[in-house]
Structure 1
């Protein structure tokens, strides 16, 4: 039996644009994902989040499903444009009322809300009028929006995540145009990332100065990273793997823990990598009460035989390829998910240990881990998802090993509570513990939901 420490937090996770639907209901303004998903060719089969899982109308049913699993927490995100339709100014009280109902429902069910303030769905007005993440003033917009959330929800919400995976907003949104707002550039990702990090620091500053003492909550940021295993024991391959991790995770975590970007990025990116002012660096350093990690896969890293060019493969690349100069590959023996991602549980343990060492033993929460598996458009295949159960056993087992090796891992949140809108892939990939019929909205627990419920109940497996 792999038993977890007392008080270990088990949960599940979603994001607003992926599940809520009701895109033009209740006073919500459009986000960059509403605009992007309606451009022909940008998403699989032209899918949009207009209806998604209709969680906006079915939230009570969804809380009931969580109760059946017995999870201790639920991580969800707030749609900024549901709170402020234009991303600034007027507050939409209907949006506030929706999240109040959801939070109250979770608390009544004994489920701790974990709230992500920003999961990529920037209000469209801020993109059109103020250049979105590329303008320094966006950090103040983030802080103003966050203050509203702290004021309205902070009496019950004690766990805040400022940003989800800023790497995706920066690189996929501004590097290779795969995600909204659909921009392609060699320099914009660094600018977008810089302003997101400043936004994170400003949000945390508002919380700590104005709310934390009274509300007694914690606040942090969630970054995504895959493990990079050196292809060999050669110094070149080991350096390539380390460089890949620093370009992927260090890009966002180093400023939060050390006040600046990794030296290897300063050296290789040069003038395209912005400088933090002394004031911003001071606000950033130490600006996370915990280390939020989203982890999905592992790749093998090596020193390239020749110059790598172009923005890189979106599946495996953890940064701008031409800057980091790392060759990435998989092992043909490794099983893959429906995303083409390698299933390598020991990579999760190694990454947790790398974070533990580099960032001086922070408390860590895995805020996303899960998989999409082939064939799940067929309800019967989906409901008997033994491959997902094996995936979860492997990765949760690796988490247990990391804890035994001294890592301060305090919680695990499975992605995802239910099948949903998988961004540019639309509804063609299913990550859920619950199967969703997108025609009727019906939800049904998969075998993995039942296995996870048993794991939660036993605090292990």
Structure 2
């Protein structure tokens, strides 16, 4: 979004990915991510050396995740789904945990992908992490664009995104219920699948769900009463928490869950129009009012505590 499409600051990109005054979409995203990974290793090493023994804390990294479902059972589409994961969360986690980029990225990008020095690889493996933070909201169908013809301007169809085209529909049927947020489809089964995928790929390192939630887009005609009566958010959370429980039964080492979010807040380019909160915020007065989802979630937590300890 920042260095490929240029939609987020610092808004660097190049054609055909976006129309920016500066940037190179085919190289800069990988340089920026490379430096982020190296910075993570430095921060972990500093914490482990200077603070962890005294504070007895744990340190990790948060990654954005999505589930990528092949749009067909063909080998090409299944391989494209693997590439989509490698060009997404694996892009960050593989170097941190294994000291190298996913092979799918190396094979496609070649010299455009920065290399780690031998010492940097050692530091990455030595630092690693104590947990993985998981942000998860949605799923996509994936169609191969390596052996099929796609429009390079479509999401994921380009070399810089692994030639894995993201689609929300298969034969006219959405992967999940549509929402007001263009990128979010309700697909709880994808949550279970991604947690099992990460469990298997990364030695079942402890995971915390650091973001998961449902966004309401406030339109000019939307009333506060409608925002408070957030039954869709309850349905979303109920489905995704059931999927989380299923993944834990499958053996996923999940240590905690954080709903996004407690309060309505400033959401990227949406500003204050997109509301993820369990509590409604009147931005003029800052008054906070619990939505139906807040009451539901309180009850949900209480019932699960009773079930666990009784």
- Cα offset, 1:308, TM superposition: 4.3
1:338 aligns with 2:176: no
2:283 to 434, 438, 458: 438
TM-score, length basis structure 1: 0.60
Alignment of 1:233-312 (within 5 A): 233-285=73-125, 287-304=128-145, 305-310=148-153, 312=154
Equivalent position to 1:180, from 1, 9, 17 = 9
Name the residue aligned to 2:21: none
Equivalent-residue separation in structure 1 for 2:256 and 2:293 (angstroms): 18
What is the distance in 1 between the residues matched to 2:207 and 2:159?
28
The superposition leaves residues 382-411 of structure 1 with CA deviations (integer Å, 9 ceiling, x where unpaired) of 111011000000001100000011111111
Deviations 1:322-349 (A, max 9, x none): 4400122123342122212110000000
Q: Is the counterpart of residue 459 in structure 1 residue 299 in structure 2? A: no
Equivalenced residues, count? 285
Q: Does 1:328 align with 2:166?
A: yes
In structure 2, the partner of 1:366 is 209
- SS for the counterpart of 1:193 is helix
8 Å contact 1:228–1:244 — kept in the other structure?
yes
| 1:197 match | 37
Query: What's the CA shift for 1:280?
Result: 1.6
Aligned mates of 1:351, 1:323 — CA distance in 2: 19
TM value normalised by structure 2: 0.87
TM-superposition CA deviations, 1:90-119 (whole Å, max 9, x none): xxxxxxxxxxxxxxxxxxxxxxxxxxxxxx
Contact 1:308 1:322 in 2 (8 A): no
Structure-2 residue corresponding to 1:418: 263
Matched residue, 2:20: none
Higher RCO structure, 1 or 2 (CA under 8 Å, sep 6+): 1
Q: In angstroms, what is the RMSD of aligned CA positions?
A: 1.7
Equivalent position of 1:52 in the other structure: none
Distance (whole Å) between structure 2 residues aligned to residue 378 and residue 279 of structure 1: 57
**CA distances 1:68-97 after superposition (whole Å, capped 9, x unpaired):** xxxxxxxxxxxxxxxxxxxxxxxxxxxxxx
1:307 positional shift = 4.2
The answer to whether the 8 A contact 2:191-2:243 is kept is: yes
Select the residue among 258, 283, 294 that pairs with 1:449. 294
Cα distance change, pair 322–200 in 1 and its aligned pair in 2 (3 A)? closer
Give the Cα separation in 2 of the matches to 1:175 and 1:290: 28
What is the aligned partner in structure 2 of residue 64 from structure 1?
none
Per-residue CA deviation, residues 124-164 of structure 1 (Å, 9 max, x unaligned), is: xxxxxxxxxxxxxxxxxxxxxxxxxxxxxxxxxxxxxxxxx
Q: Does the CA-based 8 Å contact 1:335-1:343 persist in structure 2?
A: yes
CA distance in 2, matches of 1:195, 1:379: 43
Q: Looking at secondary structure, tell me which structure has more strand per residue.
A: 2
CA deviation digits over 1:211-244, x for unaligned, max 9?
Answer: 1111100000000011001112211111011110
1:349 alignment partner in structure 2? 192
